[in-house]
Amino acid sequence: QQPVQSPQAVILREGEDAVINCSSSKALYSVHWYRQKHGEAPVFLMILLKGGEQKGHDKISASFNEKKQQSSLYLTASQLSYSGTYFCGTEFNGSSNTGKLIFGQGTTLQVKP
């Protein structure tokens, strides 16, 4: 039931765009996105609740397609500071009301000058 992220790794030049996908085989209640820089703790980016919403701040946005049970994270005009490993965390429909997340395996993003 671990969600599957794709791609596993991506290398970009500054200013290029990237899309990271997160797919689940179970019906989703919410999708959370986190970024972890090397040697640091994961940091929350955003949460998307079921209903097919899209969110964003600055040049990082995300969408949630409830029917496809899939979320995508969009990074536009990437900056060096975007480098890190991105994780999606999923809450399933019908799961206990604990905020428990099941995380994907991660996507490593490297932005080069």
Partner 1 sequence: DVKVTQSSRYLVKRTGEKVFLECVQDMDHENMFWYRQDPGLGLRLIYFSYDVKMKEKGDIPEGYSVSREKKERFSLILESASTNQTSMYLCASIIGGAGSGEQYFGPGTRLTVT
> Which residues of this protein are in contact with partner 1, per CB under 8 A?
2, 5, 8, 29-30, 32, 34, 40-44, 47, 49, 87, 89, 91, 95-106
To the nearest whole angstrom, how small is the minimum distance from the Cβ of residue 77 to partner 1?
A: 25
Residue type, 99: G
To the nearest whole angstrom, how small is the minimum distance from the Cβ of residue 81 to partner 1?
A: 19
Nearer to partner 1, 5 or 69 (CB): 5
